[in-house]
A = this chain, B = another copy of it.
Amino acid sequence: MPLYHAAIQDMQFVLHDVLGVANQDIAGYGDLDESFTAAVLEEAGKVARDVLAPLNASGDREGCHLENGVVRTPAGFKAAFEAVKQGGWTSLDCDPDYGGQGLPYLIGTAVGEMFISANMALNMYQGLTHGAYSAIHAHGTAAQKATYLPKMVSCAWTGTMNLTEAHCGTDLGQMRTRALPQADGSYRITGTKIFISAGEHDLAENIIHLVLAKAPGGGEGTKGISLFIVPKFLVNSDGSLGARNGVSVGKIERKMGIHANATCVMNYDGATGYLLGDLHKGMRAMFTMMNEARIGVGLQGYAIAQAAYQASLAYARERLQGRDVMGAQNPSGPADPLIVHPDIRRNLMEQKSFVEGARALTFWGAMLIDRAARSGDAQAEGLISLLTPVIKGFQTDKGFEMAVQAQQIWGGHGYIEDNGVAQFVRDGRIAQIYEGANGIQALDLVGRKLAADGGKPIMALFDMVKTFLKENEGDARMAPFLGPLKAASKDVQTGAMYFMEQGAKNPNSALAGANDFMHLLGHAVLGLMWARMARAAYASLDAGRGDAAFLHGKITTGQFFMARCLPATALHLARIQTGAEPVMALPAGAF
């Protein structure tokens, strides 16, 4: 079974050498010195390795079971989740007014990576609770916050998000779940929601469902939608649990992966719900949760790839098969380890350079979220808004692809479930689908984010690249980074320009190229991350700081990414520039 070890050295490198977190002018960041983050990350790494990872395969095998309306999670999950709660790992970046530790979102992100790599299904119970916490924190009344947040910060109560119905996922305007206002100000919620992760389970005393439903008077489509808090058990005025609410689990789904997280059909049968935020403004409130969830899913994308990479690296070192064509590396053994072979090395380098690039991008994104939230920085807000669909869509597509590559290194043994790598492929697949399928992420990027605020965020990104190129042009060692970065950035600009020119005449041109643009921009920002990492590594080497072998490895891995992976931008641009015609020419009936 694959072992998991948290990539603490790399996380520390990103936090301190690349992002320089302790010197950022963001409230709370002053505390993030190297020893503090090392202490947090090391403790979290132990929980991931010793508490969560050992249950990953067994949880997958056993799955969740629904019996008489109760969902039983796999053996060991309850104790492990208790350990997570007791360790304070659910409250890291939550508001101290409600029992949180007030740490930056960035720290929660780093810890989240570890917990996901170790056990994605178990981490989802906590992740969804955090999303619901954020929605209530942003939109709830003082009374609602006081009632729910302390319990959710500790995960004594967990949370869910209820959007999808059988006939509508993306197109929520078709929603049928209804909310009828009651004399006491509450609502009666009736309808059926599907794909509700952690909708029912045995890990918490209460479950706080956030439910989208249509209340009278809001009009057609998404305009009539409001968001409601629907607790599994009603909460008495003293905070104790009251009567069971009219919400129940109808069935749990048989899925390709994340077997240990119960995906539920939830039946709301006149359940008592409380309006969260403004009436008929439910979509906006839900997006507080959704944007956070999308970053969390992008985190899953590379965290799963990280776990799969470790499993494939261990196998590549241990499995003896064939000989190095340049001369035996293990002459006394029956064969050389797989890692001597160039095609295996190519595979591993693609995985490694993706995971480390994505980690840097996600951590940077988390820092932008902190900067926006804690310093009210509008530029940071705009930038993370632009990057969110890239982090979600690009990272989960690539993360899945990399998990498949990791499985490939295991050969036939990778197809056998007992060896554990197949699970990474099956689990990672969902991240491309939920919280807005990746096609929707691409449309969000091209249709909204690119032109948002007059295009300021994307222009800021171009300026960042330009400044970086200028600042580093004197350093010959940086040449392998600057040229490819410049080319990739130009490809992004050309693609964006193409959409602007075509968009007015033919919106389908942008839509037909949306997926390619998401991948084009994803590659380019990973290129920027690698260029920054290389500069940081050279700076540390020049100053005689840090672990030289690690820093040289960083530079070498970056050179691989720039040479071998970044040229994909040209292909994506070429595809974009073919426009809508090739895509739309075949009549729908002729497929």
Cross-chain contact A254 with B416 (CB below 8 angstroms): yes
Smallest beta-carbon distance A516→chain B, Å: 9
Cross-chain contact B578 with A571 (CB below 8 angstroms): no
Q: Chain B contacts of A345 at CB under 8 A?
A: 512, 583-584, 586
Smallest beta-carbon distance A590→chain B, Å: 4
Cross-chain contact A586 with B560 (CB below 8 angstroms): yes
How far is B352's CA from A590's CA once the two chains are assembled, in angstroms? 11
Known A-B contacts A563-B582, A578-B563; the reply to A340 vs B588 at CB < 8 A is yes
Among A139-147, A424-432, A449-457, which stretch is in contact with chain B?
A424-432
Whether, in the assembled complex, A511 has its beta carbon less than 8 Å from a beta carbon of chain B, the answer is yes
Residues 325-369 of A, flagged 1 when their CB comes within 8 A of B and 0 if not, give 110000000110101111111111100100000000000000000
Best-surrounded residue of A404, A411, A442 (most CB of chain B within 10 A): A411
Residues 161-187 (chain A) with a chain B CB within 8 angstroms: 164, 167-171, 173-174
Q: Chain B contacts of A73 at CB under 8 A?
A: none
For chain A, the bracket of interface size reads 35 or more
How far is B515's CA from A343's CA once the two chains are assembled, in angstroms? 7
List 11 additional A-B contacts (Cβ < 8 Å) besides A164-B412, A169-B411, A349-B582: A171-B321, A254-B416, A317-B588, A325-B511, A326-B508, A341-B511, A346-B583, A412-B433, A415-B429, A552-B590, A560-B585
Residues of A at under 8 Å CB distance from B?
164, 167-171, 173-174, 194-195, 253-257, 313, 317, 320-322, 325-326, 334-335, 337, 339-349, 352, 400, 404, 407-408, 411-412, 414-418, 422, 425-426, 429-430, 432-434, 437-439, 442-443, 507-508, 511-512, 514-515, 549-550, 552-553, 556-557, 559-560, 563-564, 567-568, 570-571, 574-575, 578, 580, 582-588, 590-591
Please list 25 pairs of residues, one from A and one from B, whose beta carbons are closer than 8 Å in the complex, sorted by A's number.
A174-B320, A194-B412, A253-B418, A255-B415, A257-B415, A317-B588, A325-B508, A325-B511, A340-B588, A342-B512, A343-B442, A343-B443, A343-B514, A346-B515, A346-B583, A348-B591, A349-B582, A412-B433, A414-B433, A415-B429, A425-B429, A549-B590, A552-B590, A553-B587, A560-B585
